[in-house]
């Protein structure tokens, strides 16, 4: 049997989700720590909390800040983010990292930067991220179905604000009229959630949506209630 060994991962994607107004501060802070690429866009967070739902505070305006960083700097960057923004406290935001094999330099003549160092990715963490992209208006249904099945809330993003980033991440054209939902769950529950959403929204049929999963290296700011 032929086997193929992926190259050591030298780059990671860091995503930080914070309340509206904090994104620019996070952006500047991490860029000053040497982030290779950075981008910020708006989203809407959902919280599975009955008290918040009663006072209509369960929908929270969010800013999603995306960075490309060197993988060996993950731990230190997350540590510094936590010291500055206190993500280890409830309701302050979340941050997580996932490994990349390569990334496109937006302002460079070089098409892609591949890993060339000897860094080996850390053992995967216990969480998986699910990104589901569907027609506008269906994102709330994704969250509702997931929460009824006992999963956490997620962050809803209008693809109009991040279509370019999704095109790069997925290597696929995403129309601006779509909505994206980003959810995190434990590794052992991720495939069950993916199967639930795939079946309910008939994602195996053409033109119904896209669902991708990626394991996370490190997470910060996740709390279970």
| Dihedral sign for Cα atoms in the order 15, 18, 20, 21 | negative
Contacts of 181 (CB under 8 A, 6+ apart): 130, 131, 132, 133, 134, 139, 142, 143, 154, 155, 156, 157
Q: What is the pTM of this model?
A: 0.75
Task: Find residue 133's DSSP bridge partners.
Answer: 180, 210
Does residue 2 form part of some domain?
no
Neighbouring C-beta atoms of residue 125, cutoff 10 Å: 16
Does residue 108 form part of some domain?
yes
Does residue 4 form part of some domain?
no
Does residue 3 form part of some domain?
no
Q: Give the domain CATH number at 205.
A: 3.30.70.120
Does residue 5 form part of some domain?
no
What range does the domain containing 41 cover? 11-220
Q: What is the pLDDT of residue 173?
A: 61
pLDDT tens profile 9-36: 488 999 999 988 999 999 999 999 999 8
Name the percent of the chain lying above pLDDT 90: 38
Q: How many domains does the chain have?
A: 1
Mean pLDDT over 189-193 rounds to 93
Q: What is the pLDDT of residue 101?
A: 64
Neighbouring C-beta atoms of residue 208, cutoff 10 Å: 14
d(CA 190, CA 129): 8
């Amino acid at each position: 049997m032929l086997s193929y060994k992926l190259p050591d991962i030298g780059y990671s994607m860091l995503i930080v989700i914070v309340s509206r107004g904090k994104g620019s501060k996070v952006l500047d802070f991490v860029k000053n720590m040497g982030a290779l690429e950075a981008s910020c866009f708006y989203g809407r967070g959902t919280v599975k909390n009955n008290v918040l739902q009663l006072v209509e505070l369960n929908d929270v305006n969010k800013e999603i800040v995306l960075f490309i960083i060197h993988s060996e700097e993950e731990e230190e960057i997350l540590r510094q983010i936590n010291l500055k923004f206190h993500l280890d406290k409830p309701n302050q935001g979340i941050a997580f990292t996932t490994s990349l094999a390569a990334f496109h330099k937006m302002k460079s003549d070089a098409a892609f930067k591949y890993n060339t160092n000897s860094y080996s990715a850390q053992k995967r963490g216990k969480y998986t991220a699910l990104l589901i992209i569907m027609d506008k208006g269906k994102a709330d249904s994704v969250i509702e179905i997931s929460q009824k099945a006992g999963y956490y809330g997620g962050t809803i993003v209008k693809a109009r604000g991040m279509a370019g980033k999704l095109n790069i991440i997925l290597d696929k054209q995403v129309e601006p009229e779509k909505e994206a939902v980003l959810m995190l769950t434990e590794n052992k529950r991720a495939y069950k959630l993916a199967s639930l959403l795939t079946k309910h929204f008939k994602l195996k049929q053409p033109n119904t949506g896209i669902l991708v999963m990626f394991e996370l290296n490190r997470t910060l700011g996740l709390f279970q209630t």
